[in-house]
Amino acid sequence: MNTINRGFCDHQTTPERLLMDINNTDTQIFMVGRGGQGILVLARALSEIAFKKGRRLITSETHGMAMRGGTVTASLKIGKFASPLIPAGCADILIGLEQNDARDYLHMLKPGGITIVNTEDRNDFTYSVDASGIALNQGLKGSANMIMLGFVIRYINTDFYDACAVMESISPKRVLDKNIKALEIGFETASNEKYNQSH
């Protein structure tokens, strides 16, 4: 995996840290996808989840023209950070809503960092989830981001109901049920043995 040590983050990654505990550990999560896939809602939900646990955090989002189908990135830094941007080679987790975009940003990961990517192919990512496929089959078109969120929270020491409460507070009413259903499917998918591959 293509990673870069640029000297300004902690690079000690032990096997235990593969499951990030966002309650206690400084965690930098980089998210990337195509404009319209819901990267910003995913980032917002994760930041509210961390905030509920009493963590300091800062995020960065892409708005504007890129939201029309361009490459959209978001960063979430949990811990006492001043800057919203994650330096290359410092992300603990990379969440990709689109596999080509995810591959393009692998240099953001620290050595041993985790990749969780929405893709129908099984490949070199730490976790591959066919969130778009599942969403389409379940009549949840447009909710792949919430399936990914459900999957991710399994690995960052987060209670499913905490995540539901956050979605209740940030979702527009008309999509709340759809979002919770997608969240649940993602959460269940994560407990399915076949996804628990690691490298």
Partner 1 sequence: MEAKPVNTEFKNEKILLGNEAIAYAVLASGASVVTSYPGTPASEILTTVMKLVKEQDLPVHAEWSINEKTALEIAFTNSISNRRSAVAMKQVGLNVAADPFMSAAYMGVRGGLVIIVADDPGPHSSQTEQDSRFFAMFAKIPVLDPASPEEALTMTMAAFDFSEKYKTPVMVRPTTRVCHARQAVAVPGITPETRPALFEKEPHRWAATPGPRLKLHIELNKKIEAITQDPFAGVRLVDGKDKSSQAIVASGIAFSYLKDMMQNIPEWGNLSLYKIDMPYPLDPDFLDHIGRSHTNVLVVEESEPVIEYQFPCRSNVLGRIDATIPRAGELTPDIIAPIVDTFLGRGDSYPEIPATKQRRPSLCAGCSHRAAFYAIKKALPKGIYTSDIGCYTLGLNLGAVDTCLCMGAAISQAAGFFHAFKHEESPPPIVATIGDSTFFHAGIPPSVNAIVTGARFVLVILDNATTAMTGRQPTPGTGSVASDFNHDGLSLEQILEGCGIQSVITKDPYDIPGFIKIVKDAYDLSASQGVVAIIARHPCIQDRAMRGTQQAFTMSVSDDCNACGYCVKEFECPALVMGEDTVVIDPTICNGCGVCVHVCPRGAIEARQ
Could you list the residues that contact partner 1 (CB under 8 A)?
2, 4, 6-9, 34-36, 44, 47-48, 51, 56-71, 81-85, 87-88, 100-101, 104-105, 107, 132, 135-136, 141-142, 144, 174
57 vs 163 by CB, closer to partner 1: 57
59 vs 189 by CB, closer to partner 1: 59
Q: What is the DSSP string of the chain?
A: ------SSS-----GGGGS--TTTS-EEEEEEEETTS-HHHHHHHHHHHHHHTT--EEEEE--GGGGTTSEEEEEEEESS-S-SSPPTT-EEEEEESSHHHHHHTGGGEEEEEEEEEE-SS--SSSEEE-HHHHHHHTT-TT-HHHHHHHHHHTTTT--HHHHHHHHHHHS-HHHHHHHHHHHHHHHHHHHSGGG----
Least distance from C-beta 21 to partner 1, angstroms? 20
Least distance from C-beta 26 to partner 1, angstroms? 11
Least distance from C-beta 171 to partner 1, angstroms? 13
Strands 109-118 and 71-78: unpaired
Least distance from C-beta 75 to partner 1, angstroms? 9
Least distance from C-beta 14 to partner 1, angstroms? 19
117 vs 135 by CB, closer to partner 1: 135
d(CA 59, CA 66): 18
Residue 164 CB partners (closer than 8 Å, separation 6+): 180, 183
Least distance from C-beta 146 to partner 1, angstroms? 14
68 vs 122 by CB, closer to partner 1: 68
98 vs 153 by CB, closer to partner 1: 98
CB 157 within 8 A of CB 55: no
15 vs 94 by CB, closer to partner 1: 94
